[in-house]
Amino acid sequence: MVVAYVLLIVKPGEESKVAEKLRHMPEVKDVAIVYGEYDLVVKVEESSMETLQNFLIKKVRAIDEIERSSTMISLK
């Protein structure tokens, strides 16, 4: 199991819309709208690094309201 935290910057005013889209994805375990450099913190669980990569490329990058992302892989 691979656990990752995806930090997202979204277009202004689109935080709730993006959070709702992400909450409907089975890979997403938690979504938090936050203040600071990033707008959303998303906890993702995948079976492997390959499936995580596919999720990020095919699903996260497909959301037009997302401007930038940064992914942190959990070690434990």
Note down pLDDT in tens along the chain; length 76 residues: 999 999 999 999 999 999 999 999 999 999 999 999 999 999 999 999 999 999 999 999 999 999 999 999 999 8
What letter does residue 76 receive in the DSSP assignment? -
Rounded to two decimals, the pTM is 0.94
Residues 28, 22: contact at Cβ < 8 Å? yes
**Tell me, what's the pLDDT at 23?**
98
Six-digit token string for 69: 């992302």
**Tell me, what's the pLDDT at 18?**
99
**Tell me, what's the pLDDT at 76?**
82
Six-digit token string for 54: 């596919």
| Domains, the chain | 2-73 (3.30.70.920)
How far, in Å, CA of 69 to CA of 73, rounded?
13
How far, in Å, CA of 68 to CA of 61, rounded?
9
Q: Is 40 exposed, middle or buried (0-12, 13-18, 19+ CB in 10 A)?
A: buried
**Tell me, what's the pLDDT at 40?**
99
